Structure 1
């Protein structure tokens, strides 16, 4: 069959994807945005145009400020397909997708350039009991709040480290559902190490002021904020009932029917790995991300990455990165002269540098402790195939040298998540066992489809009629 070609396909409609689409459309490119979600906004601005909450202000100014970007995106002359799962991109930039709503169908489309703006996901936090019902990530709980106005019932305990954990604690307080406790696993030494990065962070004092406001609000609420937690486990008969933790050498227990875990976020590299882009290990952020140039172009020609999928820097930096990628694509496709590209890029680069300046401070302060990255032997690491940390260490003793080889020793990483929930932990465990850097140990080889796709979806694949396809309509409040 003949595959329809468009100038630019953008995967993801978060801050980076929307900013990229706006600037690319402004340059005169034919733009198609494919997004898994029902509305644009990504995770940070999820449902900002149609929030189910009686008062979306409880989510904070950062959330409501996103309405302006979403409104501009809705008014732009571009195609936006919501509820669309991209499950393969080839090196020839042929995109395979499945639409779940509207004219539900699967198909293929070719692009002259692709920008992947699929953001990040929560770093797995394998602790004893994390597979029990009632245990989930802080980000997952926040998604339920933003998308469905669902708040956790019963005693809620937040456990982990990082800005998102404090933000969600504050949001729960605003919703009159204050958590029973916060178990803070930030190592005390991190505070001293982060001081060296403070001068750079002062370039964007708003970030520091926001963090101080959140912590002050948590303190005023009277919520127990237990610091220097070195280990914890979730206990219960068939579901979460309590959390046992050790802090400052003392072990205690607290009732909890909902336990929300968080150890930061990491780039979503499933697509870029499946395409064959080169990746590098970032020791500061303890994650992999694709190698890119100043415009976000990867080692695969005309394939770009924008936003947190290329390294964690936050929503404002993601918008600047998305706009820069749009300029890079427009120049590459002949729609923008080099001089115009560079002139427009200059203020964006200053904005990007300014908002990235705080990251070394945050990365150092909230660097996850070793115990939560390389858990004890009895802890399940691969949830899909129920492989424990002890089994992975045993594989290393038998000669397993890396995550990809671990598939031959067990089925670790071969479940539906394709390693999203275990890949980083497996790599760190094997690196520790062999006394090697994680960069040498490597990662899973990701193959398409990157998410489960039915045989029916494959059989019904067709060539879309782009002339008949209209942008999905949404009306911001």
Structure 2
């Protein structure tokens, strides 16, 4: 006997879309999310930010309808819920308000989104340096906008956040972009297909136009990045631009180098993963319906591969539609009609992906930082120490973890795992890339013994 027809982990665009589609089809849904409200990162606090809608743009406001629709008799919502174990037999173990619980379902959908790619360079661990995603959380959760900050890195989110800061009358001091002319040239081969998603292209051009109109300086093709403490609470940021060494002083340095799938849950439950050569990250192996190698386990949205929030909504729909068909809630003709319509929309939405992946490719400097750069923040392990371990014959991440303690800190490798694997990939043959296929162990998130002791098992 199961508790629900479907358990969905993550209440972002994909999770909300899957929950609504499944509930409208007659399935009993349990929707779990770690945040206090639905919306994920893209629609974070969208219902609470009524007076700030203009700051975050129309795409942000569009999330209100999704969040409102979750008030459905077939959807059980549990927010502030931390999922710490998912089992192949469709058991989900999660904690809320200091107490652990167990829920079961016929189907499980992972929709836990993406995480920012670690962006290591000398000084990136200093106070006053934070990721752009973290800054956006503060902006949406507390209405706190950074002033006179310097934005460094690459990717659409860099322009989006800069535009949001401008709309809130807190424009950034400067944009320092690691994107190179070579990346721009390489991306042109994918431009014809990208034109099928003209809406996204126009939006990107509008971001850049607003940044230019606001008079925010842009430095392109920057390299040799380094942050230093100036001793008065400010950061001196050094970089090379057009062959000249330059510096900027700021109270807050916001860094970003794209996002990668959040795969901790899928890795822990035993889903097969593969290396995405264009996005330089491991991602789950799924079919076009989001099905994994584990029966009854589906993946929707950016945790299955980075495609953006608009595509995530469609992936949530197509996963739920497949489950509705498999449970007999809709017939074959309706299933085919709905899935074709969603797949058609996905084709146009995803047509821009290769263009973006090439245009905002990860620079080699990020993939192979200088030896003195700290990689593991918790244990303060450097690139040089990792390379030394590899030179001594270490061939696996677990072996490296045991030997030099990288990834042994409080975050258990959540921050450094992607960097460590990138360094290792530069030291092994591409034919051996599967030896680095990631694994994860439960508990996925830290829990206390007190929480475990309160868990009721049938």
The TM tier, using the shorter chain, reads over 0.9
Q: CA deviation at 1:75?
A: 4.3
Residues 86 and 95, structure 1, Cα contact 8 Å, conserved in 2: yes
Q: SS at the partner of 1:357?
A: helix
Q: SS at the partner of 1:433?
A: coil
Q: CA deviation at 1:91?
A: 1.1
- Residues of 2 paired with 1:354 and 1:23: CA distance? 21
- Residues of 2 paired with 1:324 and 1:251: CA distance? 50
Whether 2:157 is the aligned partner of 1:160: answer no
Match of 2:71 among 74, 95, 117: 74
Paired position in structure 2 for 1:200: 193
- Residues of 1 paired with 2:257 and 2:432: CA distance? 18
Paired position in structure 1 for 2:256: 262
Residues 14 and 312, structure 2, Cα contact 8 Å, conserved in 1: yes
Residues 127 and 232, structure 1, Cα contact 8 Å, conserved in 2: yes
Q: SS at the partner of 2:200?
A: helix
- Residues of 2 paired with 1:58 and 1:298: CA distance? 39
| Count of matched residue pairs | 457
Residues 54 and 167, structure 2, Cα contact 8 Å, conserved in 1: no
Deviation string 1:376-395 (CA, Å, 9 cap, x unpaired) is: 10001111221111111111
Sort the Cα spacing of 1:295 and 1:411 in 2 relative to 1 into closer, same or farther, 3 A: same
Paired position in structure 1 for 2:145: 151
Instruction: Note the 1:48-447 alignment, pairs <5 A.
Output: 48-51=46-49, 54-75=51-72, 77-100=74-97, 105-153=99-147, 155-236=148-229, 240-436=234-430, 439-447=433-441
Paired position in structure 2 for 1:470: none
Q: CA deviation at 1:247?
A: 1.1
In structure 1, stretches of 5+ residues that fail to align are: 465-477
Instruction: Note the 1:7-26 alignment, pairs <5 A.
Output: 7-26=5-24
Q: SS at the partner of 2:315?
A: helix
Q: CA deviation at 1:4?
A: 5.2
RMSD of the alignment, in Å?
1.6
Q: CA deviation at 1:199?
A: 0.6
Q: CA deviation at 1:339?
A: 2.9
Q: CA deviation at 1:443?
A: 4.2
Paired position in structure 2 for 1:472: none
Paired position in structure 2 for 1:473: none
Paired position in structure 1 for 2:44: 46
Q: SS at the partner of 2:427?
A: helix
Q: SS at the partner of 2:329?
A: coil
TM-score (norm 2): 0.96
- Residues of 1 paired with 2:437 and 2:412: CA distance? 11
- Residues of 1 paired with 2:207 and 2:172: CA distance? 14
Q: CA deviation at 1:334?
A: 3.0
Sort the Cα spacing of 1:328 and 1:415 in 2 relative to 1 into closer, same or farther, 3 A: farther
Deviation string 1:319-366 (CA, Å, 9 cap, x unpaired) is: 110011101222223333333222211110011111011000000000
Sort the Cα spacing of 1:324 and 1:253 in 2 relative to 1 into closer, same or farther, 3 A: same
Q: CA deviation at 1:76?
A: 5.5
- Residues of 1 paired with 2:3 and 2:86: CA distance? 14
Deviation string 1:157-213 (CA, Å, 9 cap, x unpaired) is: 100000001110111111111111111100210000000000111001011111111
- Residues of 2 paired with 1:129 and 1:443: CA distance? 29
Paired position in structure 2 for 1:467: none
Q: SS at the partner of 2:70?
A: helix
In structure 2, stretches of 5+ residues that fail to align are: none
- Residues of 2 paired with 1:181 and 1:128: CA distance? 20
Sort the Cα spacing of 1:439 and 1:333 in 2 relative to 1 into closer, same or farther, 3 A: farther
Deviation string 1:51-79 (CA, Å, 9 cap, x unpaired) is: 1x632211111101111111222345311
Q: SS at the partner of 1:25?
A: helix
